[in-house]
Structure 1
């Protein structure tokens, strides 16, 4: 399917969609990683981390939906299939089994940092391609950076 009306010139649309696709994969995997952490965190202060992870998951899922819809807006089909995410994710695999609160905080902070790195890379690349997509990634990064601050403040 091809849209008749485009918001971006053809020479900018494809590289923009590719950059957004990379970030979509990172956000989807971050959401899955966070849910795995949410289910398997154990130890002192379990409840506060468990609930905090739900807040971050909500932010991440909303962001992945926004990024996927932006890909569609510029005329491409987003790919959020599990096989694509597993093959292309920049995130490390999360441990299986129960993970201590301290281990959870460290793993979640690392996953957030990796995702933010992908977003910031995308922000740089989109500067010459599409300012609307760039602005969207800036907003997503800002929200995740706040979550990173709040989660890693518990490591001290």
Structure 2
């Protein structure tokens, strides 16, 4: 039963809702991974990386809210519960304990790259089904690619 009736045909709604749920899981986990590294990064570049990680967390949290609200607008409930995120993520879990600054950077390059790859798949999947959701995924991908570039520049 839908509380909000979607304007999309059922097949398109299925495609879009799966893409939105996957994006939500990725973004929630990205914020958690970045915060975990943020708390535990050590090394000579601690401060700059520590602050940069907070920027990723803020972006991921903003975008996760946008994705969940888009799903709601289409009549689809979102699931950002911990077990759902843990079972659906494609991001590698960071190690426990202190994380050397160079490892923090390479970990974030990998995490962002992983999420960006899946976001680009969602752009393709939703283009015909729902250009509004496609546009949301394009905007999110652009923002994440900016963070990815900045972390890559840290490792050069």
- Cross-structure match for 1:85: 85
Distance 1:40 1:85 in 2: 21
- Cross-structure match for 1:47: 47
CA 1:111/1:78 → structure 2, altered by over 3 Å: closer, same or farther? same
Measure how far apart 1:154 and its partner are.
0.9
Give the TM-score normalised by the residue count of structure 2.
Answer: 0.96
Distance 1:75 1:54 in 2: 32
Distance 2:131 2:117 in 1: 19
Measure how far apart 1:3 and its partner are.
3.7
Distance 2:7 2:34 in 1: 34
Measure how far apart 1:5 and its partner are.
4.2
Structure 1 residues 81-102: Cα deviation after superposition (integer angstroms, max 9, x where no partner): 0001101111111110000100
- How many pairs does the alignment contain? 156
Distance 2:21 2:5 in 1: 21
SS in 1 for 2:154: coil
Gap runs ≥5 in structure 1: none
Give the TM-score normalised by the residue count of structure 1.
Answer: 0.96
**Aligned residues: CA RMSD:** 1.1
